[in-house]
Structure 1
């Protein structure tokens, strides 16, 4: 306990909370609101006041305004929808101010928060609604048709609407109504993970200051967050990465810029206009912004990339055009943030995901559930204090293959279910993809296993060429033969105009089959 308290004091000192005034504000916010996200926002409002907290396409809010409107919304939700601890609220929203206000407001009621993928299919949404039986769904108006196609019959509240009842035009709550709200403990924050098809997995997190000290401290120090002023969250808030950065920057009194969806041209313009110095992205976003207008990105001192593997060619291109500003973050919705590569790590190797952060126990396990030796590939398994709490085992199997080198750097080798056995040899499609991406004529590549009568399985490669270049299958195979083992060579090669990506920026290999 003494060590945990020392760590808490150290982190509070780092973010300049360790003063009598600041500590009093934090304690009084918790006393007034309870242990929930609203206490964090109340502290921020009292500490940072008229500093800009949030800016989207429709409004710009100071910390005082964001707190006041979130608290009024919370009173409305408690009165009209009877939200209390134990009830469940689903969110089907893209990035905007109404979503942020509602997340804080629902937390103040004590209800559980479920963040759903706004790009999901009708069948996936129907499955979630049937299993969770939400008491209320907060949704974007453009998704109303999707919601109406389901059997959901409980309360619904639009995030925005020009005339009807919605978060953006709810009546202001009277003082007498506001006084009726009680102190509460925050409910669960549940991330419904997975793609846009199939059954979503649940990653439930119970907020705890002590549990999150290590990732909080690592994010602060390794990314030098205290020196930043304005963040652009380009990744969806319904993804764990987006909501974590939103809450962190609230505690630090930083300005956060968001937009409903990612568009490279608008993103570049936002970064230039707001002089953004840190942006949260997936690699595909970085690629698109560099191609659109690299000059607009000159204010960036930190590009925090996560959610998908970094292309080593993209690492080199970013360093060439913007300098050492690219960071690679490895985490999962279930296990949270666990590994960080700073720019110097990516100079050591453009392929690395970095070194683990304090508080993480990490094992690379082989097929026999035995820890693999250094340099050998196995499944990455993680245990920490901030992982999801709806798992029977404390160790989380990430489903990612990887290895650790002798210097403590970690490297990915694809997914467990992507490895194939070809004529008795274990073959990792990810390794072949990484080699292909080093070819100067190849813009993007995907590799998958296919059935083969003679070898059991072989590889097939889908290749997207750099515009204006040409290459034949035989030319590519000749280039690969000196770089790959014979059993790694693709049996089939298909040249395509574009490779498919999910709305979260991950290569959608299912769409290739």
Structure 2
């Protein structure tokens, strides 16, 4: 089956020629089976074209390959990197971060991508658990590191802008990088309901062929030259699309943070056709701009896409919206095209080839169409640090009779009120459908009579004149009686995590329910 997908992908990339196959064989022989093969083939096809554009300038595919090779040799000699060593990254989105990722991978060392704004307590805890040999970090985090317990080698990403100078000053001209296939990639989950957990992948080009092919066939990636990755590269969603878009020879625009006004300016300036974002980013883009003529593929992932937001995208920009479902542990498994979202704006889409997704109850029994249970996933591109073959995602949902999947919420969000199962997501969606509601979050609160009841926290739109009573009247004909909140509170803003998911820990902590 892998051979079939290999030929399908190569056909899409126009590499089913003697020249293309030769370039692939040469890259594997030179580097081994790792992500540098993608860059080598891309550089051979798109050498002088721009690969990355950030706030400091642009880098061509040939430059990116050559500088990543040089940096890998420097890291090997100066820091002793190789198989069995570990490198932590505390970086935002920029070209130097990308070069370092490729370079470390080529040394054979393991990569650990961390959130650069994680708390000092979380960072120190991670250090105690993982003990990295080197830390690559953004210079703005210098004082942060000085306050931490980290005492080993570190390398500021800003210094990597002059790799040629660093390389020549040590007399390593002419040395070639080693061949390796041992590097592993470690990501951290979003941690919306607890301490972020590590997710370890051993990148294999062959394992990722099925989802790669699905994205090539269901998304119009081949039709556009330029992409903007708005999502953080330290997260699985962002790094996966970085590798995918580089393999396709795209010009990729990166920014260290997301600001809607700046994002819209960059989309216009570079005539960006592809944008990766989370729903919160899309919502801010819609507030900022009414027209983005070059936009042809707006990819939403990382959090639940609300039907109201999808409808606004279709109205404003046309059929450009694509919704992805995946997890850090299991990768991308469901894709919804604009046609799928027309079928139902709430759908996560259909399975990608090679993905096995079952809906199971709390006794681990597979459920049929229309029955709500936990999504359990098995595929060849999932994480490698679990003993079990099936991965429990923690997401609750169901499959309809036409093979479309729908999300109901998280297992730890489920509220049992007077014996009835209540999914907060359904109430949140009903509230956001109100024309004067900007956002909403629903949490469970203790109740002596019912065990648990619901509290809704609502963010009104600007100039709205909402009251809790009027919202309750709005909900009564739209929800079952057991789904109605016990109380509704109005708030200036709903808190979100750094990955664009509603942060339900904060409302619980503030109201004493955590």
Q: Normalised by the size of structure 1, how large is the TM-score?
A: 0.96
Match of 1:24 among 6, 22, 25: 22
Match of 1:38 among 28, 36, 39: 36
CA contact (8 A) 1:120 1:196 kept: no
How many Å apart are 1:203 and its aligned residue? 1.1
**1:201-245 CA deviation, whole Å, 9 max, x = no partner?**
111111222211110000111002111211100000001111111
CA contact (8 A) 1:450 1:459 kept: yes
Query: Is the alpha carbon distance of 1:180 and 1:224 closer, same or farther for their aligned partners in structure 2, counting shifts above 3 Å?
Result: closer
1:489 correspondence with 2:484: yes
1:313 correspondence with 2:308: yes
Distance 1:231 1:330 in 2: 20
Distance 2:501 2:293 in 1: 26
Q: Quote the residue 1:163 is aligned against.
A: none
CA contact (8 A) 2:280 2:500 kept: yes
Q: Quote the residue 1:266 is aligned against.
A: 262
CA contact (8 A) 2:226 2:270 kept: yes
How many Å apart are 1:61 and its aligned residue? 0.7
1:428 correspondence with 2:423: yes
Match of 1:471 among 451, 466, 469: 466
Where in structure 2 are the equivalents of 1:62-461 lying within 5 Å?
62-160=60-158, 166-170=159-163, 171-174=165-168, 176-179=172-175, 181-195=177-191, 199-295=195-291, 297-461=292-456
How many Å apart are 1:180 and its aligned residue? 5.3
**1:61-91 CA deviation, whole Å, 9 max, x = no partner?**
1101111111111111111001011100000
Which secondary structure state, in structure 2, belongs to the residue aligned with residue 417 of structure 1?
Answer: coil
Distance 1:417 1:279 in 2: 31
**1:70-116 CA deviation, whole Å, 9 max, x = no partner?**
11111111110010111000000000011000001101111011111
CA contact (8 A) 1:91 1:139 kept: yes
Structure 2 gaps, min length 5: 509-514
**479-488 vs 273-282, greater mean Cα deviation:** 479-488
Distance 2:35 2:381 in 1: 17
CA contact (8 A) 1:287 1:314 kept: yes
How many Å apart are 1:501 and its aligned residue? 1.0
Which secondary structure state, in structure 1, belongs to the residue aligned with residue 59 of structure 2?
Answer: strand
Q: Quote the residue 1:507 is aligned against.
A: 502
Which secondary structure state, in structure 2, belongs to the residue aligned with residue 11 of structure 1?
Answer: helix
**1:470-513 CA deviation, whole Å, 9 max, x = no partner?**
12222111111111111111001100111111121111111112
Count of equivalent residues: 505
Give the superposed CA RMSD.
1.4
Structure 1 gaps, min length 5: 161-165
CA contact (8 A) 2:5 2:213 kept: no
Q: Quote the residue 2:512 is aligned against.
A: none
CA contact (8 A) 2:370 2:401 kept: yes
**193-202 vs 264-273, greater mean Cα deviation:** 193-202
How many Å apart are 1:194 and its aligned residue? 2.7
Distance 2:4 2:32 in 1: 23
How many Å apart are 1:7 and its aligned residue? 2.2
How many Å apart are 1:409 and its aligned residue? 0.7
Distance 2:178 2:321 in 1: 44
